[in-house]
Amino acid sequence: MKELINEYKLWVKENQKFIEHLKNHDSSLYTRIMPIYEVLNFLYGEYLQNPKNITKEIYKIFQVGFEYLHTQIFTSKVYLEKTFNNDFHKFLEYNSIIGYLLYIEDLRYELKEHNLSSDDQLINDLVIYLENLMTNKDDIPENTNLYVDREVHKMIDGSLDFHSIIDIFVDIAETLEIDLFNETDYIIGKELKNE
């Protein structure tokens, strides 16, 4: 586990600025990776406090989460560099499209893992459509989410109960009592006092 922890530490150092930019700009890509990132950071802290408490199951969770997070961030950074010439604000304009592309890759993986047939042409056409939106810097149609959803339903046709790795990490976070969606309430104005 020590080697994996050290690898994660170096990876975070290399990618933290990018992740923080996503977070600070309320990017849907950050929302996508946040459960995994938070669970990994929690487990990293647990390891530093007491390395002997890390079980094989925790090691596997950390390993799978790290590999997935690495792939998601790597792919996002490739789009930032190759499609948007490192223009972060232009990249953010298409972060929903990138999110759809990452989701489609997750779906492809799950279909393959469950030995389910899929219409590869349909999947490829959807990927090409989404990538062309970015490459051509086209306006994103308002109904893109409905279009992607409809095409995804055609792909799986009820044959897959899709529970993504992100969903799994939300469940893990709940088990570890990590509050992923903590919202702070603010009172604007003077404090109310009982008189």
CA 140 distance to own-chain centroid: 21
Own/partner contacts of 44-52, CB < 8 Å, gap of 24 or more, are: 44/5, 44/8, 44/9, 47/1, 47/5, 48/5, 51/1, 51/2
Q: What is the pLDDT of residues 109-128, one digit of tens each?
A: 888 887 777 778 888 999 99
Classify 14 as helix, strand or coil: helix
Question: Which residues, 6 or more positions from 32, have their beta carbon under 8 angstroms from its beta carbon?
Answer: 72, 99, 102, 166
Q: What is the pLDDT of residues 129-177, one digit of tens each?
A: 999 999 999 999 999 999 998 988 887 766 667 778 999 999 999 999 9
Q: What is the mean pLDDT of the chain?
A: 88
Q: Examine the pLDDT at 19 and tell me if it is beyond 80.
A: yes
What are the Cα distances from residue 189, in Å, to 183, 184, 193? 19, 16, 12
pTM for this one? 0.86
The mean-pLDDT minimum among 70-74, 78-82, 173-177, 180-184 falls in 180-184
Question: How far is residue 148's CA from residue 101's CA, in Å, rounded to a whole number?
Answer: 10
